[in-house]
Amino acid sequence: MSTNEYSYYTSNQGDFNEPDNRDNKEPKKKKKLKVPKLVMVICLALVFGIVGGVTFQVISNITGNLTGNSNSSSSTGTESSKITSAELTQTSNTVVSDVSSVVKEVMPSIVSITNLSVQQVQSFFGGVSEQQVQSSGSGIIISKNDSELLIVTNNHVVSGYESLTVTFSNEVSVEATVKGTDSSKDLAVVSVPLSEIDDKTSEAISIATLGDSDALSVGEPAIAIGNALGYGQSVTTGVISATNREIEMEGFDCQLIQTDAAINPGNSGGALLNASGEVIGINTVKVSDSNVEGMGYAIPISDVSDTITELMNQQPKEKVAEADKGYLGIKGADVTSESASLYNMPQGVYISEAVQGGGAASAGIQKGYIITAIDGTSLSSMSELQTQLEYYAVGDKVELTVQIPSQNGEYTEKNVEVTLTESVG
């Protein structure tokens, strides 16, 4: 009962006033205040707790002064809570870090690539017609020389092109040509003449910094930039999910980086970056399945640096007119990865016939040979060989890399120079 309550009680009841003897009556006995036993026990417990706490605090302070420890256990507890909270906040910030500064630095080195190609389309009535098809991809500016800007991308981004257009970060577009391709690594290098790039665009673009994909750790941040769905450059983030992944794609021979950063159509050929903004991979493919989420892949940059250098050093290629196109004079078939594994054969183009009077037969190439490259560009199918021959005219010389079978089933590699002829056979 509080003092106010107690005062209010006495002033109204008068139980504790002095006795009145004017009427010679017996003095009234003072009534004792009855306190319930439970309340008394609680009060005694509180008093004991307060006394004990004060005593403990005094002893703790004396001990602390003698040992040099901190004064207050309660303040130490508060301080610990603050430190824990700060650590948690810092960890959270690391996970959802702002990548805008990295993107701003790297974006001028990323381009969009538009491929206009002609494909054969089967009509409803069974006929075949040619139709122009436009596809989109991405590329990374990796170097330049005295006359051209060099851009790396995927082979499948430029495959079958009739014309290529590169669009820079300032939305300026110029025509480009292919310098070299490697289908087994799904790589291509595209060239843009410096004379076609205006001064403002030259100032707006930059050359990407290549990182070390061999030093990657699973779980570290990853940033993907590319021309997703052909809408222009966009950014997705995630982590490195795995390294040295192998996936089954016909003619493809490369271990890949796996990431959960979204890789969408149009991202192919774009950059996968580390937290420092260095290119650690070239985005190439994603797993598309209703049961799969967040599985994209990139070509490790350190694994293909030599291949990229070789492609950069090739001469730019221009397609020749259909009437001027040169031919090898062979009939062939694909040696797929499955066939190569089953029959212990190199993957490439199996020559089923070297037509007499053709360039291949004149150079000594025979039935049973397997073509694996033309002028340093690897081949895995007849269609890839035909695509490469579109850059050569009658009379041009090409160097074929062929695998020659021996009686014991082994193959020996040899480079053969072939002069292209008109169509024969």
Report how far residue 198's alpha carbon sits from residue 194's, in angstroms, rounded to the nearest whole number: 8
Picking from 233, 263, 275, 214, the residue whose alpha carbon sits closest to that of residue 139 is 233
Q: Rounded CA gap, 187 and 180, in Å?
A: 8
- Count the residues in the chain: 425
Measure the CA–CA gap between 403 and 346, rounded to whole angstroms.
7
Set 136, 156, 183, 334: catalytic member: 156
- Within 13 Å of residue 235, how many CA atoms lie on the same side as its CB? 16
And the tokens for 361?
Answer: 């037969």
Contact in structure between 352 and 288 (CB atoms under 8 Å): no
**Nearest of 418, 414, 412 to residue 388 by alpha carbon:** 418
CA angle 286, 290, 293 (to 5 degrees): 50
Per the annotation, the verdict on 186 as an active-site residue is yes
197 Cβ contact list (under 8 Å, min separation 6): 149, 172, 174, 205
Sign of the four-CA dihedral 269, 270, 271, 272: negative
Catalytically annotated residue among 169, 268, 378, 381: 268
CA distances from 1 to 50, 131, 286 (A): 19, 97, 76
Q: Are 350 and 335 in contact (CB under 8 A)?
A: yes
Only one residue has tokens 């009658």, namely 394
264 neighbors 228 (Cβ within 8 angstroms): yes
Q: b or e along 222-244 (b: 16 or more beta carbons within 10 Å of the residue's beta carbon)? A: bbbbbbbeeeebbbbbbbbbebe
Pairwise CA distance, residues 150 & 140, whole Å: 8
156 a catalytic residue: yes
Q: Is 306 a catalytic residue?
A: no
Which of 168, 188, 169 lies closest to 180 in space, CA to CA?
A: 188
Tell me which of 182, 186, 260, 334 is the catalytic residue.
186
What contacts 210, CB < 8 A, 6 or more positions away?
142, 278, 279, 301, 305
CA dihedral sign, ordered 296, 255, 266, 122: negative
Task: Please name every residue paired with 236 in a beta bridge, in sequence order, or none if there are none.
Answer: 224
Which residues are catalytically annotated?
156, 186, 268
